Amino acid sequence: MPEHAHRLPTDTDDGMVLIISGPSGAGKTTITRGVERGIPGSVFSVSATTRQRTDADVEGVDYRFVTDDDFETMKSRGEFLETAGVYGKKYGTPKAWVLEQIKRGRLVILEIDVQGAISVKQQIPDAYAIYILPPSESSLLERLRSRKRESEEIIQRRYEQGRAEIEQARTCGIYNAFIVNDVLEDSIRKAIELVNDERSRRRQGRHA
């Protein structure tokens, strides 16, 4: 943290970005919320998006739902760390907030796609990235349907794009770990363990 920055009593040097990616329906949101609950001081980055809000979404908690014009204005003002087009809609990570939280020593969780993860890793190379895989392709389709969130047409589109994204994730080389989300509690425990191990390794490195 720069010398001149005001340091709060709760600040630490443990700031880390955790990227969680995976195909739609793999269980990212469910696992992310579990990690957030399981790691004190972790915070979830609320992205802006131009996609339609669904009944399951809470404004300001899951996303900031904005118009296309608003999104473009925010982008031109440099408010995003990264932006990406996913399933034909725009998504962006809030830059100033994320950088501030890292400085405060928080674990900052970004639930973003592979393009976004590549972009964040270029800017913040020590970001730690986990990719969530479904146990099988058929379970991915079942989970997408189980949410009862989208029409069958959109579900099919997300399913096809998800399969392509898994291939991209395997080959792009930026993911530190892959978790097959079979039993939910095991996946959450694994993710928490990976993050805690990584943070203590870094802490030891700083004190060496």
Q: Which residues bind ligand ADP (CB under 6 A)?
A: 22, 24-30, 143, 146-147, 181, 183-184
**Nearest distance from C-beta of residue 149 to ligand 5GP, angstroms:** 8
102 closest CA partner among 80, 129, 133, 124: 124
Helix/strand/coil for 56: coil
Percentage helix, strand, coil for the chain under 3-state DSSP, each rounded to 5: 45, 20, 35
Q: Which is nearer to ligand 5GP, 39 or 169 (CB)?
A: 169
Q: Which is nearer to ligand 5GP, 52 or 138 (CB)?
A: 52
92 binds, among ligand 5GP, ligand ADP, none (CB under 5 to 8 A by kind): ligand 5GP
CA 81 to chain centre: 13
**Distance between CA atoms of residues 167 and 30, nearest Å:** 22
Q: Which is nearer to ligand 5GP, 15 or 27 (CB)?
A: 27
**Nearest distance from C-beta of residue 188 to ligand ADP, angstroms:** 9
Q: Which of 27, 92, 134, 191 binds ligand 5GP (CB under 6 A)?
A: 92
Q: Segment 19-58, which members bind ligand 5GP (CB under 6 A)?
A: 21, 24, 28, 47, 51
Task: Name every residue whose Cβ is closer than 8 Å to that of residue 188 and which is 6 or more positions away in sequence.
Answer: 31, 34, 35, 38
Can you tell me which residue has the tokens 């904005």? 66
**Nearest distance from C-beta of residue 31 to ligand ADP, angstroms:** 7
CA 112 to chain centre: 4
101 binds, among ligand 5GP, ligand ADP, none (CB under 5 to 8 A by kind): none
104 binds, among ligand 5GP, ligand ADP, none (CB under 5 to 8 A by kind): none
Q: Give strand ranges (E) for the chain.
A: 16-21, 42-44, 47-49, 63-65, 80-86, 89-94, 107-111, 128-133, 177-180
**Distance between CA atoms of residues 102 and 106, nearest Å:** 5
Binding of ligand 5GP at residue 101 (CB under 6 A)? no
115 binds, among ligand ADP, ligand 5GP, none (CB under 5 to 8 A by kind): ligand 5GP
Contacts to ligand 5GP by CB under 6 A: 21, 24, 28, 47, 51, 82, 84, 86, 91-93, 111-113, 115-116
